[in-house]
Amino acid sequence: MGADYSLHAKYWDWDGFDDSASYNFWYTMGKKYGTNILSVMCAIGQAAAYMANNGAKVVALDLTREMIEEGNKRFQDIPNLTFVQADVCDFCLDRTFDFCFISSADIHLLPSLSEVKKALVNINKHLKMGGGLGIEAWYAPEVSFSSPMRQFYPRVPRKDGVLIWKESQSEYNAETKIQHIHQIVHVDNEHLQFTHDVDLQLYDRVDLLNLLSECGFTLVNAYCNNSFQTSDNITDNCYLELIKSSEIDRSK
């Protein structure tokens, strides 16, 4: 997780798009297990805020201090929403949860399966037996590819009149299964420009599911979109719903 997201926090919702359908997907999945929810790698906590506004008790956790501060600033008036700055691999809270989720394929910010295992074992510790885990994953393509630099403008203009747009290019290496993304963020009204580079470590579907099983989770559903639909192509079903089926010895 070497990428620096600190400059993004203030402009995280630059696109202006209403993503409540995605937030509701995780909320609907989670409420089957209960109302005590843990959102890890949450950024500024938009999904967590949605859930809390709908009656859940939510802890939103992220590594980046600026993200947590921005979330607190924006959503401080929402009851039953708590922000925590911590690493998903070693956070320690004094409570257990009914449901935990990692959205936006953020699990791929973890640089190796060994780091993913640390995160999953730690999440296992914080979930009740039979609790739910939701993960959005991208499976590793077999062929390398690259995408040239493109410009991305907000789908919905900001109400404050600030224009934020991005330039982005990416390259995927099928041997390393790493997708490198290079972005330039432009905030025109503030005459601000900053670069952002991130490596996403992708995984084979079988390897990821085997690791989830090793970490005490059983797959119960897999969906191809946030409308709970499935695909005949199994690799399209990358929204995973799992349950905690066993406790894990963290000393191993």
In a domain, 252, yes or no: no
Residue 251 is which amino acid?
S
- Whole-angstrom distance, CA of residue 185 vs CA of residue 164: 7
Asked if 114 and 14 count as a contact pair (C-beta separation under 8 A), the reply is no
Could you report how far apart the first and last alpha carbons of the chain are, in Å?
Answer: 23
Same domain for 72 and 88? yes
Same domain for 129 and 57? yes
Same domain for 108 and 176? no
Single out the residue of 119, 105, 133, 92 nearest to residue 43, CA to CA.
Answer: 105
Pairing of strands 178-187, 192-201: antiparallel
In a domain, 3, yes or no: no
Bridge partner list, 205: none
Q: Is the pLDDT of residue 116 over 50?
A: yes
Q: Is the pLDDT of residue 228 over 60?
A: yes
What's the domain range around 155?
A: 145-201
Q: How many domains does the chain have?
A: 2
CA diameter of the chain? 53
Q: How many CB atoms lie within 10 A of CB 104?
A: 14
In a domain, 55, yes or no: yes
**pLDDT in the model for residue 248:** 86
Q: Which two tokens stand for residue 189?
A: 């009204």
Same domain for 93 and 135? yes
- CATH code of the domain in which 74 resides: 3.40.50.150
Same domain for 128 and 150? no
In a domain, 47, yes or no: yes
Same domain for 185 and 209? no
Asked if 224 and 206 count as a contact pair (C-beta separation under 8 A), the reply is no
In a domain, 5, yes or no: no
pLDDT 10s digits, 1-41: 457 899 999 999 999 899 999 999 999 999 999 999 999 99
- Whole-angstrom distance, CA of residue 27 vs CA of residue 52: 9
- Whole-angstrom distance, CA of residue 100 vs CA of residue 162: 34
**pLDDT in the model for residue 1:** 46
Same domain for 72 and 151? no
- Look at residue 74 and give its three-state secondary structure: helix
SS3 content of the chain, % helix, strand, coil (to 5): 25, 35, 40
- Look at residue 120 and give its three-state secondary structure: helix
pTM of the shown model: 0.95
